[in-house]
Chain A
Amino acid sequence: MLDTYREVITPEGVPLHLPVAGPLPRALAWAIDFVIRVGSLMMLSIPLAFLGGFGQGLYLGLMFLLMWAYTIVQEACWGRTLGKRAMGLRVVASDGGPIGWMSAITRNLLRTVDMLPFGYALGLLSSLFDAHGRRLGDLVAGTVVIHQSAPPVGGTVPVGSVLAPPQPLQPAEQAAVVDFAERAPRLSVPRQQELADIASPLTESHGQVGVLRLYAMANWLLGRR
C-alpha cells in the first residue's frame, strides 16, 4: 500500500493500522504548545511579580515545569499535548498501545538532541529518513506519532436493481466495487462516470449505464437479492 501506515499485529491477531504523522503537523503542534507555554508564563509573571522573591522563585520553578514536565505529563496521561490535540495527533507506543511514563520521559528528554544543531534539524532529518516519521527521541523511546483517525464517513449503496457480476471477482475487486458504490453518490456525475469507465471490461458498457451496473453489482455483492 502506497501510504504511511504502520501496520502492527495486536495480541488478538488482527492488524492495527497506525496512520503516521509527518513532520509538518507535528511542527505546527509544537508551535501551538510553544505559544501556550510562553503565553501562560507571561500571564503568570504579572501576578507573581507582586510576590517579590518568592514569586520570582515560583516563576523560575514554573518555567522549569513548562519546559520539561508540560509535555511529559500530558503525553503520559492523555497521549497528547494540547497542541497535538489541536492538530489531531497522538503519541502511541510502536505496538499501538498507549505510551507509559518511561517512554514519555525518554522521548521528551531527547528533544534536546533532536533540536541540534538548530530548530529541530536532526529531528527533521531523522523523521524524513525513517519510514514511520520518527525523530531520534521517538526511536529511542519506542514511540510513534499518529493521526487520531476521524470517525469514518457513513455512506450507503443506493438500493436498486441487482446484477450478478459476469465473472467471479477476487475479494479485493469485490471490495473495490462496493467501495465505489458507497462513495459515488457523493461525487459529481462526470467523475462517477469517469471512475466507472475504468471498470468497463467488467460492466461491458460506458457512461451512466456503467455506473448503474456497478451499483447493481454492489447490491448483489452486499447480499441484497
Chain B
Amino acid sequence: MRQEQFVARYQAEWQALEHWLAQRGERPRQARRQAAPDGVDDADFPQRYRRLCQQLALARRRGYSPQLVARLQQLMQQGHTLLYRTPRPQWRRALAFLFADFPQLVRSQARSMWVAAALFVVPLVGSFALILWRPELIHLLMDNARIAEFERMYDPASPNLGRDSGTNWTMFGYYIMNNISIGLRTFAFGLIAGVGTVLVMLFNGVGIGSVAGHLQHIGHGDPFWRFVAGHGAFELTAIVIAGGAGLQLGMKLLAPGRRRRIDALVEGGVIGAKLCVGVAAMLLIAAFIEAFWSSIAAIPAWGKYSVAAVLWTTVIVWLWRGGRGAVDAD
C-alpha cells in the first residue's frame, strides 16, 4: 500500500485519537467526570492505542516518510504515557505502608540496620564515657560558643528545655526543616559506596555522646535526659534506619551480587525511597514531640520518663511486630 492510500484510510482514526488525547491526556481525573468526547469511548482506548502501534510499525517497515512516522510516533508516545500511568496513591495504602510494610522492610534489611545502629551507638557511648573520664576533651570536639549554647539550652533554671529562644511552633518548624533534612541526606550519602553514611553516623554519634557527657559532667544532666528521653524514641531510631537505608544502597554498589551494578542500585533505590518515606514520618512525629512535649520543663522526671518508656516500647513493638503475618500486598 502506498503512503497516500495508507493515510487516507486511517486519517480519521488518528484524528479521533488525537482529539481524545488532547481532552483526556493532561487532566484525566477532571475529564472523567465529563462525558466522553465524540468518537472515542474511554474503554476503547487501549484497543485503539494498539491499532496505532501496529500502524506505526507498518509505516516504519514500509519506509513511509519520516514526517508521517514522526506524527504516529508522537501520538503513540502520548498514548503510552497515558496507558502506563502509575496508579494514584491511596490513603488506605499509605496507612498500610506505615503500619505494616515499613516495619517489614526495616526487618528485611536487618543486617544494614544493625551495622548502622552499631556505627551510631558505639561512638555515642564511647564519647560519652570518654568525656566523663576526661572532661577537658570536649574542647577538642567543639568551640566555646557552641558549648556555651548547649549549656544555656539545658540550664536547670530555664523555663524551657532544649532551646535558647523561640516558641513551640518555631521550634516545630525548625526541627522539621533540620532533622528531616539530616535524615534524608544520611540516606543519600550512602551512594558514595556507603562512606558518606558511615561518616554521618559516626559524627552524629560522637556529637550527641560528647554533648551528653559534657552536660552530665557539669550537672545539667537531669534537664538533658528529661528532654531527649521522649522524642529520642522516634528520632534516634529514625536516624539509624536512614543510616541503614544508606548502607544498603552503598552495599548494592560495592557488592551487587549476580546482577548488573545498575540493576542492583535501582533495587536499592526503591528500598531506600520507601525507607525514607517512613523515616520522614518518624522524624515528623519526633519533631512534634520534641517541640510540644519534651520542652516543657515543669513536668517532673517520673512523668517524662514514663511517657518516654511508652514511646520507646511503641517504637520497638511497631518495628518488631508490625506487619508480621500480613500477606504481602504487592
Partner-B contacts on A (CB < 8 A): 10, 12-14, 16-17, 52-54, 56-61, 63-64, 67-68, 76, 79, 92, 96-103, 105-106, 109-113, 116, 136, 139-142, 149, 151-155, 170-172, 174-175, 178-179, 182, 221-224
Residues A101 and B67 in contact, CB atoms below 8 Å apart? no
Contacts A151-B74, A178-B3, A179-B67 hold; do A57 and B169 have CB atoms under 8 A apart?
A: yes
Residues A223 and B4 in contact, CB atoms below 8 Å apart? yes
Which residues of B have CB within 8 Å of A63?
177
Which residues of B have CB within 8 Å of A12?
49-50, 53-54
Contacts A58-B173, A112-B189, A174-B63 hold; do A105 and B276 have CB atoms under 8 A apart?
A: yes
A110-B191, A140-B191, A155-B67 are known contacts; what are 15 more A-B pairs with Cβ within 8 Å?
Answer: A10-B53, A16-B80, A53-B168, A57-B170, A58-B169, A67-B181, A97-B81, A97-B86, A103-B273, A105-B277, A106-B272, A140-B268, A149-B77, A179-B66, A222-B2
Instruction: Give the distance to chain B from A215, nearest Cβ to Cβ, in Å.
Output: 13
Partner-A contacts on B (CB < 8 A): 1-5, 49-50, 53-54, 56-57, 60-67, 70-71, 73-74, 76-77, 80-81, 84-86, 89, 166-174, 176-177, 180-181, 184-185, 187-189, 191-192, 196, 249, 262, 265-266, 268-270, 272-274, 276-277
Which residues of A have CB within 8 Å of B54?
12
Residues B173 and A60 in contact, CB atoms below 8 Å apart? yes
Which residues of B have CB within 8 Å of A152?
67, 70-71, 74
Report the 5 A-B pairs with minimum CB-CB distance, sorted nearest first: A223-B2, A171-B63, A53-B167, A60-B173, A57-B173
Contacts A13-B57, A56-B166 hold; do A64 and B177 have CB atoms under 8 A apart?
A: yes
- Closest residue on chain B to residue A169 by CB atoms: B63
Residues B273 and A61 in contact, CB atoms below 8 Å apart? no
Residues B167 and A54 in contact, CB atoms below 8 Å apart? yes
Q: What are 24 A-B residue pairs whose CB atoms fall within 8 Å in the complex?
A: A13-B57, A54-B170, A57-B168, A58-B173, A60-B173, A61-B177, A67-B181, A96-B77, A97-B81, A97-B85, A101-B273, A102-B274, A105-B273, A109-B276, A110-B188, A112-B188, A140-B191, A140-B266, A142-B266, A149-B77, A152-B71, A154-B67, A170-B63, A223-B2
Contacts A12-B50, A60-B176 hold; do A140 and B265 have CB atoms under 8 A apart?
A: yes
Residues B4 and A222 in contact, CB atoms below 8 Å apart? yes
Which residues of B have CB within 8 Å of A174?
63
Residues B169 and A68 in contact, CB atoms below 8 Å apart? no
Which residues of B have CB within 8 Å of A110?
188, 191, 269
Residues B181 and A221 in contact, CB atoms below 8 Å apart? no
Q: How far is the CA of A12 from the CA of B62 in the complex (A)?
A: 18
Interface of B is mostly: helix
Residues A112 and B184 in contact, CB atoms below 8 Å apart? yes
Instruction: Give the distance to chain B from A66, nearest Cβ to Cβ, in Å.
Output: 10
Residues A56 and B169 in contact, CB atoms below 8 Å apart? yes
Which residues of A have CB within 8 Å of B176?
60-61, 64
Which residues of A have CB within 8 Å of B70?
152
Q: How far is the CA of A59 from the CA of B74 in the complex (A)?
A: 43
- Closest residue on chain B to residue A17 by CB atoms: B73
Which residues of B have CB within 8 Å of A16?
73, 76-77, 80
Of B3, B64, B171, chain A has the most CB atoms within 10 Å of the CB of: B3
Residues A140 and B269 in contact, CB atoms below 8 Å apart? yes
Instruction: Give the distance to chain A from B50, nearest Cβ to Cβ, in Å.
Output: 6
- Closest residue on chain B to residue A94 by CB atoms: B266
Which residues of B have CB within 8 Å of A68?
180-181, 184
Of B54, B86, B249, chain A has the most CB atoms within 10 Å of the CB of: B86
Residues B86 and A98 in contact, CB atoms below 8 Å apart? yes
Which residues of A have CB within 8 Å of B3?
178, 221-223
Q: How far is the CA of A174 from the CA of B66 in the complex (A)?
A: 10
Q: How far is the CA of A220 from the CA of B74 in the complex (A)?
A: 26
Which residues of B have CB within 8 Å of A179?
65-67
Which residues of B have CB within 8 Å of A102?
269-270, 273-274
